[in-house]
Amino acid sequence: MVDDHAPGARCEMAEKDSRACKRVPRCHNDLIDLLLTSGTDRRGAYELVVRGGQIIAQDGLRSFAERSQRYLRRKLFPSTNPPAPPSQRELEDMRLQSAGFEYRPKISIITPVYNTPEDWLRGAIDSVLQQAYDNWELCIVDDGSGQPHIREILDHYQREDGRIKVKYLNENKGISNASNEALALASGEFVGFLDHDDQLPAHALYEVVRLLNWNANADFIYSDEIMISEREKPIYALFRPDFSLDYLLSHCYIIHFAVIRKSILKEIGGFRTDFAVSQDYDLFLRVVSQTRNISHIPKILYKWRQHQASGGHQLKERVMESSRRALQDFADREGIGGEVYCTKHFNFFRLKRDILDQPKISIIIPTRDRIDLLSRCIESIQAKSSYGNYEVIVVDNLSQEEESAAYFDSLQRSHNDYKILKFNETFNYSRLNNYAAKFALGDHLLFLNNDVEVLNPDWLEAMLEQSQRDEIGCVGAKLLYPDKKIQHVGVIVGGGGRAEHIYKWSDSNYIGYMGHFVSIRNYSAVTAACLMIRRSIFDEVGGFDEGYEVGFGDVDLCLRVRELGYENLFTPYAELIHHESATRGKSISIDPHPSDTKRFMEKWKKYIDEGDPYYNPNLPLDCFDILPYVSW
């Protein structure tokens, strides 16, 4: 957050997300808008029918039936929505459990204060006093406030409870200095951060210490949170994934509630004053350089008050530049060659990594006839690819048309780096790609559908800069339908009870919930409609599992790659149009590939049951574009 202890400055970090999280209407047709007014029941019914038709056309009747059932269940039974805060009885149980914890570390809550409205300041302090876990201290530093009620309130609370420590600064030194002064007061093993106008739910510290009793090695713990209005009404919730380094390097998605081991904060020297408007982001990045023992609690443990901001455009520019410098500092510290850029979206960044050694990429494209699709795909590669060191391997699976044979011949005659392979067996997507990979000369394999077309010239560089990283396995791209709606920005395991493209059919002009459409971030899986992987990892994992004939082979590959210790990720900077399943045709059967579905669900049942670490369990598994309001 920005330095809201400096006169005239207020936090604006969430302003863009707040606007962006509102649903974007799917239909902009003037006639529809005229006949069916947006927001009415009739318009809602129309949009449900349109969505149902899309699901049937793309994924079949079974998927439609399953999604409809889950949608109705959520509407009829609100208990399937995110849980409400604990009841008083549950809090009493938590107090009893807290007293019996084997490990009861002291948590120091630090709160810098500057001219806070009386009700908000009392609310922040009272929220700590009401904690179910009692081994805490509250370290408050007043940053030179001029309002007389500040000292009256702080002196009162300090007299009432010995766990509250207060220090007064003679002048306004800014939030970083004030926070460091509060850190100096802290005697706890862990430090939590509470802004002077926010609140902690009564079970916040209990949940943190409960996790530490399960995982005492955790150094950095963060939670979900809810934004509240000035009058403490819920606005919307921020449900975060488990730790995703690549997401953090795109956006400071970790904000509240953050609890960090004090020894690490001492080692890194606390907050840095030259990052005064991005001090939290800079602190988190320096902590990440010290430890990867980072745990996420998927519960709302913080109430973040949203109120009228000031500072305007100039403040936003300061925040962006300060955050960019913090990210560049992280990259330099970690030995990452590359440059950090601000994007057009507030508080979103791109760490563009240097390409090492210009390795060869083998682009593998399975096809059967439909030269109209294949030629468009290849022509877009030729016309729009700024990276030149690639070869194209076209795998012909029983094409019958004379036009196809003529086109294949012309490709081979005119391009030395093009191979045409014959795969004269019944279609098996996994076996077909494994066969083609044997002929590939590249250090990186790019599996590409014949019904895609390239949109941006540096798409290969955008994927290669990630695929070349030692820790990265599969890299996926941003795929759009011809109408520019989202087709792929990542795959979650558990969606539809199996695996599902997240945010399908959403408007690509929208940044997505918490910026998921515009952030490089880790996912459990990505689609092989456009997937890059190092040849060495592909060989290490044994290629595609040929037991999957049509579907789920790519998700299975990604999960096996994760089991080897690699991370998979999505990049929005490789963008293509995908005319989905145009070669095989759209199926409206109950399940287009039931044997593949059965194989996947049996093999990965444990993963499905435990939940995808990169998709918060509080979010729905069927409607990925809804705003996650909660009933607080």
Cα separation, 199 vs 123, whole angstroms:
7
Pairing of strands 491-493, 258-261: unpaired
Cα separation, 502 vs 50, whole angstroms:
18
pLDDT at 258: 97
pLDDT at 8: 34
Residue 476 in 3-state DSSP? Answer: strand
pLDDT at 96: 95
Burial of 312 (0-12, 13-18, 19+ CB in 10 A): exposed
Question: Position 536: which residue type?
Answer: S
Structure tokens that stand for 155 in this block: 């002196």
Structure tokens that stand for 406 in this block: 């003529």
Q: Which residues in the chain land under pLDDT 70?
A: 1-34, 36-44, 47-48, 51, 55, 58-60, 62-83, 308-312, 495-496, 581-592, 622-632
Contacts by 6-9, CB closer than 8 A, 24 or more apart: 6/172, 6/174, 6/175, 6/276, 7/172, 8/310, 8/311, 9/277, 9/310, 9/311, 9/315
Question: Position 465: which residue type?
Answer: E
pLDDT tens, position by position, 342-382:
999 999 999 999 999 999 999 999 999 999 999 999 999 99
